[in-house]
């Protein structure tokens, strides 16, 4: 009865919000790509890739989750070359990155959480294990996977402040689904407690740490090298990453004001969503600032003049570019969106600046704030805080403290890989015993 009510509620929600989805499909092209896969059509390339092989299905909703689990997935593949590891994501940006990392034949859009759609993928893939990143708790997927005998593991698990009240209110509904989880690897002790509160068995929960602390990016990859060579001597660089609507205008205001004090300043601006690249380009033109697109600049690299803006209109390159920063601003935080990952710049020991809306990275922010390793600002104080970080000797020490926090928190990778290995080995032992019978 519970599953029927859930399916009816999901169908009703889709019906009510249909104008929104259709509008974005028609005018912005969003959600159009991969629509058939979202509706349960299993692509032939995927069935060919898994045919005759044992499969592990990994789901990472967006870019941050995908980057966090990529190393574990790749190591698992090296340890078990016989496995077919397939990856689903939800967003277009994460799809592109996943295809680049795992090959397009093993990557697909996550289906809507209806029985006939989920069952099609489970029948086609026949996974021995389903790995869900962070908090992708879809009732129908959990129910159908349990019915199919799939081992379900949550990695890098967390429950946000915003989600927790909803899970608590629906505790009785959630309990039958989450009790089917084989293991939950929580980011922190607080997250572990939250999983227990919504009904996960305590003996299934382990505090593994945050995989995002174990993501390492080369300092001297191709783009940072090329940009470093093109920057003016003695330039100071603001790298503003994962910015959202309204944040670019605030940053440009602060950048323009700061040029009066630091004329050798350069801004590298990386919007979070590719569909906004054109809008940000139009904003830069409107402001009359000298600027270049990374994708065009790459064909004919030229000197980047002081006072210029570089629009990073590419995918998967931001993390390495943070190595160039005199100050790194982490977006999604000046507006109420929950923030993005401050660890990407922390690994390079650069001073980090963020807004006040950082609840999506509660544990990471707590660790950085405890060591005075990050600066937090409001929109009103953005320019003053930027100026202080660009001109103060203390900023370098703050960046080094952020690097120390990053180094001290590593280890989640080994713990996560160890649990996944144990689950696979236990599954192999059971299958071998059943075959012997």
Q: Same CATH topology for 29-209+411-426 and 222-408?
A: yes
Strand order in the sheet with 55-59: 107-109, 84-89, 55-59, 127-133, 151-157, 183-186, 205-207
| Tokens found for residue 409 | 């928190």
pLDDT at residue 168 in the model: 84
Per-residue pLDDT band for 355 (boundaries 50, 70, 90) equals very high
Contact in structure between 98 and 74 (CB atoms under 8 Å): no
3-state secondary structure of 267: strand
Per-residue pLDDT band for 26 (boundaries 50, 70, 90) equals low
pLDDT tens per residue across span 358-417: 998 988 999 999 999 999 999 999 999 999 999 998 999 999 999 999 999 899 999 999
Separation in Å, CA 90 to CA 110, 111, 175, 246: 6, 9, 25, 24
* Alpha helix positions (H), 130-209: 139-147, 164-169, 171-178, 189-197
Per-residue pLDDT band for 1 (boundaries 50, 70, 90) equals low
Q: 305 versus 18: which is more confidently predicted?
A: 305
User: What is the distance, to the nearest Å, from the Cα of residue 416 to the centroid of all Cα atoms in its chain?
Assistant: 17
Strand 309-311 and strand 55-59: the pairing is: unpaired
Q: 31 CB contacts (<8 Å, ≥6 apart)?
A: 21, 24, 25, 38
When the pLDDT of each residue in the chain is averaged and rounded to a whole number, the result is 91
Instruction: Tell me the angle at which helices 189-197 and 362-370 cross, rounded to the nearest 10 degrees.
Output: 150
Q: Which of 33, 44, 65, 434 is catalytic?
A: 65
| Tokens found for residue 118 | 């989920």
Question: How large is the average pLDDT for residues 341-357?
Answer: 96
Question: With pLDDT > 90 as the criterion, what percentage of the chain qualifies?
Answer: 73
Contact in structure between 395 and 366 (CB atoms under 8 Å): no
Would you list the domain boundaries of the chain? 29-209+411-426, 222-408
| Tokens found for residue 32 | 């159009």
pLDDT at residue 302 in the model: 87
Per-residue pLDDT band for 8 (boundaries 50, 70, 90) equals low
pLDDT tens per residue across span 66-123: 999 999 999 999 999 999 999 999 988 899 999 999 999 999 999 999 999 999 999 9
Per-residue pLDDT band for 182 (boundaries 50, 70, 90) equals very high
Question: 222-408, superfamily in CATH?
Answer: Glycogen Phosphorylase B; (3.40.50.2000)
pLDDT tens per residue across span 422-436: 999 988 887 777 777
Question: With pLDDT > 70 as the criterion, what percentage of the chain qualifies?
Answer: 93
402 vs 372: CA distance, rounded Å? 8
124 vs 50: CA distance, rounded Å? 8
pLDDT at residue 19 in the model: 67
Strand 127-133 and strand 327-330: the pairing is: unpaired
pLDDT tens per residue across span 12-22: 666 776 565 56
Indicate if 134 belongs to the active site: no
Note the pTM of the prediction, 2 decimals. 0.86
pLDDT above 70: residue 227:
yes
pLDDT at residue 426 in the model: 87
pLDDT at residue 196 in the model: 92
pLDDT at residue 284 in the model: 97
- 286, with CB counted inside 10 A (0-12, 13-18, 19+), is exposed
User: Per CATH, is 29-209+411-426 categorized as 2.40.160.60?
Assistant: no
């Amino acid at each position: 009865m519970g599953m029927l009510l859930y399916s009816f509620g999901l169908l009703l929600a889709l019906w009510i919000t249909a104008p929104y989805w259709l509008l974005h499909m028609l005018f912005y092209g969003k959600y159009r790509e991969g629509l058939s896969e979202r509706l349960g059509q299993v692509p032939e390339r995927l069935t060919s890739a898994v045919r005759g092989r044992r499969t592990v299905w990994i789901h990472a909703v967006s870019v941050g989750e995908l980057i966090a689990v990529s190393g574990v997935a790749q190591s698992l593949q090296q340890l078990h070359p016989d496995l077919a590891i397939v990856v689903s994501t939800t967003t277009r940006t994460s799809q592109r990155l996943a295809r680049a990392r795992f090959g397009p034949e093993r990557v697909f859009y996550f289906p809507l959480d209806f029985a006939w759609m989920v069952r099609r993928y489970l029948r086609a893939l026949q996974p021995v294990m389903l790995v869900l990143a962070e908090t992708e708790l879809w009732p129908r997927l959990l129910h159908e996977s349990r019915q199919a005998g799939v081992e379900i593991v949550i990695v890098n698990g967390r429950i946000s402040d915003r989600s927790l009240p909803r899970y608590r209110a629906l505790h009785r509904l959630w309990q039958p689904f989450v009790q089917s989880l084989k293991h939950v690897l929580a980011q922190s002790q607080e997250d572990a407690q939250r999983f227990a509160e919504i009904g996960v068995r305590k003996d299934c929960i382990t505090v593994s740490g945050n995989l995002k602390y174990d993501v390492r990016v080369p300092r001297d990859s191709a783009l940072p090298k090329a940009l470093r060579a093109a920057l003016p001597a003695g330039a100071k660089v603001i790298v503003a990453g994962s910015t959202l609507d309204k944040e670019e205008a605030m940053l440009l205001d602060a950048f323009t004001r700061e040029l009066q004090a630091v004329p050798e300043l350069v801004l590298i601006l990386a919007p979070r969503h590719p569909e906004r690249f054109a809008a940000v380009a139009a904003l830069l033109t409107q402001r009359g600032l000298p600027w270049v697109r990374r994708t065009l600049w790459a064909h004919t690299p030229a000197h980047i003049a002081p006072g210029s803006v570089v629009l990073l209109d590419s995918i998967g390159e931001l993390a390495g570019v943070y190595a160039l920063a005199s100050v790194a601003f982490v977006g999604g935080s000046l507006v109420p969106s929950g923030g993005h990952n401050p660890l990407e710049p922390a690994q390079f020991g650069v001073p980090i600046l963020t807004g006040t809306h950082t609840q999506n990275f509660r544990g990471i922010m707590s660790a950085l704030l405890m060591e005075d390793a990050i600066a937090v600002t409001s929109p009103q104080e953005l320019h003053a805080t930027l100026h202080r970080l660009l001109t103060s000797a203390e900023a370098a020490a703050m960046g080094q403290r952020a690097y120390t926090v990053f180094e001290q928190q590593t280890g989640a990778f080994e713990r996560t890989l160890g649990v996944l290995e144990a689950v696979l080995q236990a599954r192999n032992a059971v299958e071998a015993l059943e075959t012997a019978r």
